[in-house]
């Protein structure tokens, strides 16, 4: 079924039940032919808006759900590791749109039960020379963040390979040092600085005279 306005095709409901808006031929993106497709040649014709007007703090929602039941409408509990929703980004390589640039995946993270659905977010990017994305970071059901680690044991767990830099703090502004600070009850207790101009309770910073990194307390090495 073809829908036209002003003699121009606007929308097609094809023989497979797909709703095609803006372009009457179904397109594969990462081997997926979506039931609803929006295709266009500029920002307006290739975009989808969801706007809520209400005198409160609530916004429109994009909801993605998963059941292990094979029949539409059936409810079968999901399992640990199941993906319940994915936001995928793909780019044309000149031939097709089968190569993923990046993706965000929501997965079950633990054993679910009635009104109990532990989850994690997986963030993936595709390396240069590759066509599939690789996990780079995750937030697990405990709120722990893992970078390079698939089982973060702390609020921030950074794991790198041999010889790699784990954390880098950088500031290119002239006249300002670069620091890594640890606060307790709003007061700075620990810091690592790139110059010797600051004083704190306990710090690890370079001694301008010797050029060595030393421990300092209240500005005294």
pLDDT in tens, 53-80: 999 999 999 999 999 999 999 999 999 9
Place of tokens 């709120």: 143
Dist. CA 119–CA 112, nearest whole Å = 9
Q: Do the Cβ atoms of 25 and 17 come closer than 8 Å?
A: no
Q: How confident is the model at residue 187 (pLDDT cuts 50, 70, 90)?
A: confident
Percent of the residues in the chain that have a pLDDT greater than 70, as a whole number: 75
Average pLDDT over residues 30-45: 94
Residue 43's pLDDT is what?
Answer: 96
Residue 157 has pLDDT above 70, yes or no: yes
Whole-structure pTM value: 0.80
Residue 64's pLDDT is what?
Answer: 95
Residue 160's pLDDT is what?
Answer: 81
Residue 167's pLDDT is what?
Answer: 72
Residue 94's pLDDT is what?
Answer: 94
Dist. CA 81–CA 63, nearest whole Å = 19
Residue 151's pLDDT is what?
Answer: 93
Q: Out of 108-117, 129-138, 181-190, 206-215, which region has the weakest mean confidence (pLDDT)?
A: 206-215
Q: Which residue has the higher pLDDT, 200 or 29?
A: 29
Residue 61's pLDDT is what?
Answer: 96
Q: Out of 113-117, 166-170, 179-183, 201-205, which region has the weakest mean confidence (pLDDT)?
A: 201-205
Averaged pLDDT of the chain: 86
Residue 161's pLDDT is what?
Answer: 74
Residue 174 has pLDDT above 60, yes or no: no
């Amino acid at each position: 079924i073809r829908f036209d306005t002003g003699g121009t095709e606007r929308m097609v409901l094809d023989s497979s039940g797909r709703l095609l808006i803006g372009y009457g031929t179904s397109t594969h993106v990462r081997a997926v032919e979506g039931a609803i497709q929006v295709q266009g040649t500029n920002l307006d014709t290739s975009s989808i808006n969801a706007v809520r007007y209400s005198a409160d703090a609530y916004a429109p929602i994009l909801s993605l759900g998963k059941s292990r039941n094979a029949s539409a409408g059936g409810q079968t509990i999901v399992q640990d590791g199941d993906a319940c929703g994915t936001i995928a980004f793909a780019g044309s390589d000149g031939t097709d749109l089968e190569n993923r640039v990046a993706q965000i995946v929501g997965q079950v993270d633990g054993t679910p039960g009635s009104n109990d659905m532990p989850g994690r977010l997986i963030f993936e990017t595709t390396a240069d020379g590759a066509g599939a994305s690789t996990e780079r970071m995750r937030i697990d059901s405990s709120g722990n963040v893992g970078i390079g680690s698939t089982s973060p044991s702390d609020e921030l767990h950074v794991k790198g390979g041999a010889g790699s830099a784990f954390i880098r703090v950088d500031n290119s502004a002239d006249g300002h040092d670069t620091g890594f600070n640890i606060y307790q009850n709003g007061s700075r207790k620990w810091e690592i600085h790139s110059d010797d101009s600051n004083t704190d309770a306990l710090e690890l910073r370079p001694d301008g005279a010797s050029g060595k990194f030393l421990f300092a307390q209240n500005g005294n090495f």
